[in-house]
Amino acid sequence: MKNSIKVLLVVCVSAISWYACLPPSIDIDVKPAEPALVIASQAIGNNGLLVGLTRSYSPLDTTGQQDTIGQDLLSKVLVENAIVTVSYQNNVDTLVMVTPGVYLNLAIPMIDGEAYTIRASDPSTGLAVWAVTNLQPHRNFDTVYPVIK
């Protein structure tokens, strides 16, 4: 009985000490980041380019207090009716919107080592972005062996 009282006393003193060491909570006012356009691109075969175009959003935005992705969030993030172009070798080609946030052109030659510049502008927000990359040479496998575990 004495041991259980000692243990209880030690637990109570420890809990009170631990609680007393907790600092008071501080409210911090952090403004959400400004939205920006985000480009993701993928070469398709030897004659195509697929571009994903979205708007960034801040997780600190108070309107996004939900755990699921709803249609309102998708409409805020996916960019519709943007002007998306790619330039290479003194050519400029326009990509067409397949679905909100996805733009495609299947008539762009993919040339190894060539520099491609993607430009996108969102008329609804006035935001614009561009990116430049060099197409890396295509690699073929000599032999592929399956591994079954």
Looking at residue 137, its pLDDT comes to 86
Looking at residue 63, its pLDDT comes to 55
Read off the pLDDT of residues 67-95 as tens digits, 9 standing for 90 and up.
566 777 778 889 999 999 999 999 999 99
Asked if residues 35 and 127 have their Cβ atoms less than 8 Å apart, the reply is: yes
Q: What is the pTM of this model?
A: 0.70
User: What whole-number distance in Å separates Cα of residue 86 and Cα of residue 93?
Assistant: 5
Residues 6+ apart with CB under 8 A from 52: 39, 40, 41, 101, 102, 103
Low-confidence ranges of the chain (pLDDT < 50): 64
CA 124 to chain centre: 20
Looking at residue 2, its pLDDT comes to 65
H/E element, 117? strand 115-121
